[in-house]
């Protein structure tokens, strides 16, 4: 099993079963690496860089991502609760798929004010997530449970909400032009208009 040493660079490396809860890592660069069944809960990645990496079946809850850079990074089947993504380094990151979440739990995380067009959150549980003031144009929330998540002054132009559930989006203070919603769930959008619906 490869050790994670600070100020190191890793390319095309597989990390399997790392037990790194509450550990701190600094100034490490990962390119085309895969993390399988690793435990990074309450760990800290400080000034690190992840490019074209995948996290599979990992525990990343309450991970500290201070000043770390993420470019085309996918989280599949992960537990990624309570992560404040606003602490990561986003300046100079090319617009596109910076973060991809599939079949993961991202409850109580924050994307407040971030510019992450084409963000992918598919097949996820995303309860109590803060998406306020964010640019999420072209994002996909397909098949995701968005219970109690916050959308306010959020750019959701052409976003995909097909098969997503339990979202509350005020169409008066969010941009939703061209967004896709399922017909039966879309009635939630009418709640903000203060009208009564009858069968």
CA distances from 130 to 110, 157, 167, 169 (A): 5, 18, 12, 12
Average pLDDT over every residue of 9-33: 96
How confident is the model over 44-82, as pLDDT tens digits?
Answer: 999 999 999 999 999 999 999 999 999 999 999 999 999
How confident is the model over 110-162, as pLDDT tens digits?
Answer: 999 999 999 999 999 999 999 999 999 999 999 999 999 999 999 999 999 99
Residue ranges and CATH numbers for the domains of the chain are 11-98 (2.160.20.80), 110-194 (2.160.20.80)
Res 1: pLDDT = 44
Q: Is residue 103 scored above 90 in pLDDT?
A: yes
How confident is the model over 170-183, as pLDDT tens digits?
Answer: 989 999 999 998 87
> Taking CA 21 as the corner, what is the angle to CA 19 and CA 24, rounded to the nearest 5 degrees?
110
Res 195: pLDDT = 54
pLDDT band at 89 (very low <50, low <70, confident <90, very high): very high
**How much is the pTM?**
0.91
């Amino acid at each position: 099993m490869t050790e994670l040493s600070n100020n190191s660079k890793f390319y095309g490396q597989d990390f399997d079963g790392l037990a790194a809860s509450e550990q701190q890592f600094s100034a490490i660069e990962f390119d085309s690496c895969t993390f399988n069944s690793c435990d990074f809960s309450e760990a800290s990645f400080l000034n690190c860089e992840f490019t074209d990496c995948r996290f599979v079946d990992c525990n990343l809850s309450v991970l500290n991502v201070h000043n770390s850079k993420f470019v085309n990074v996918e989280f599949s089947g992960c537990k990624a609760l309570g992560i404040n993504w606003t602490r990561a380094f986003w300046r100079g990151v090319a617009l596109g798929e910076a973060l991809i979440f599939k079949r993961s739990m991202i409850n109580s995380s924050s994307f407040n004010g971030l510019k992450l067009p084409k963000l992918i959150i598919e097949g996820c549980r995303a309860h109590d997530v803060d998406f306020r003031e964010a640019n999420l144009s072209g994002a996909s929330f397909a098949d995701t449970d968005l219970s109690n998540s916050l959308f306010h002054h959020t750019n959701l132009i052409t976003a995909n909400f097909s098969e997503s559930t339990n979202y509350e989006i005020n169409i008066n203070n969010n941009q939703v032009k061209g967004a896709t919603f399922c017909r039966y769930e879309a009635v939630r959008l009418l709640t903000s208009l203060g009208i009564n619906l009858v069968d």
